[in-house]
Structure 1
Amino acid sequence: MKGDHLLVAFAFWVLASSFASAYDPSPLQDFCVAINDTKSAVFVNGKFCKNPKLAIANDFSFSGLNIPRNTGNQVGSNVTLLNVDQIPGLNTLGLSLARIDYAANGGLNPPHIHPRASEILLVLEGTLYVGFVTSNPDNRFVTKVLYPGDVFVFPLGLIHFQFNVAKTNAVAIAALGSQNPGVITVANAVFGSNPPINPDVLAKAFQLGKNIVNDLQKKFGGNNK
């Protein structure tokens, strides 16, 4: 009889532990609208899996990350992301990799967030001024100047950036804790949304004149007509 009580108590403990530790998996997309029609549905939070017996080395590799990328754009940087789309073997492994090239004298990876990943950055060449801002209400700015061989961590979901302060090109490698980390570049999202955000909203939020907001929306492609 005593053994039965112990068994029941153990079963309740296991059940309670299961409920306490259960949670929804982290999303790998911005949103997932429920749908009953499977013909119109897509598979999310990963991809369909190949038969493991048919996997080959090329499913787990990528070549050419050593090649410098073109930084001749407005911000002077270029991000080469290797996620599950480039390396199928990353599926379900929860990580991805990126090479970031920065132009000399001010190449910038602009303020942005990764909604689904923390990031660890390794500087290979150049001198980078980096930082992130903590969440409200503190909004504390954590910053450091990095040199070749230095490493810096950007926590999940926080606004961060890298800026090349050297007279030579810079290169860094970033590892991210998701097979599809996503990226939201702050200025592009706010001033270049489609359709554009009402300029009255942005003028009040950023304490700017409406003419300045209109000009920024033109520059970022979110022009209100």
Structure 2
Amino acid sequence: MRSVPKKGKSKQNNSFLFVIIGILALITVLLVLLLFLRNASESSTFKGMPNYTEIKGKYDIEGFKYEKQPHLGSPDAKVKVVEFADYKCPACAKWSAANMERFKQEYVDTGKVELFFMNFAFIDRDSILAASAGEAIYHQNNEAFWEYNQELFANQGDESKIWATPDFLLDFVKNNIEGIDYDLFEKDLKNHTYMLDVKEDYKTGGNYGVNGTPQFFVNDQLIRETSYEALAAAVDAALAAAE
């Protein structure tokens, strides 16, 4: 036989239901608040650091456009070497410390090679900003760019952290790089004057098969092996072919 529910029990059930709904509503509010705070934190962290999608404008991915790139050595050299690198890349910093001076002495200073640098900034947003800082310096003073290049690799931060912030780069350049108009550099960095150049480098590298850093091209040919010995062998072969 079906019994008639007691009113007292019904009230208890309703009260329990209201408590559950209240708890769920509170959890929802807390989750929304946490999401808002996380987004606000990320927005603050990435302030002044656009990603490639946010960098607008036309660019050309055909050819290396040597005339636009930072360079070392004689323009009459028979071999052109292009390095693609990311300032946050530990392997790039290691290669720079171990091999750059030797390569310059053996190939660049002897007139055999003209060396160029192009950005393949892919690790994080501050990779792009650090690259744009380098471009801003290069457009003032090619020699100062190479000083920045070597010093920033030597003072590289943790790859997993956002360290190449606007404040860090402004302070770093002010204290370490000479031969430029600092006020103009600050303006160019904050206005993202050369961000499109960085994007063009990145897209060009991808167009020619770059998929990591550091990577090198010898007379427009990609050298997959990045050891000093492999690069030197490729350069020697190109020099022999040019004879």
TM-score interval for Structure 1 and Structure 2 normalised by the shorter chain? under 0.3
| Length-normalised TM-score, structure 1 | 0.27
Which one has the bigger helix percentage? 2
Q: Which has the higher contact order (CA 8 A, sep 6+)?
A: 2
Q: Which is greater in Rg?
A: 2
TM-score (norm. length: structure 2): 0.25
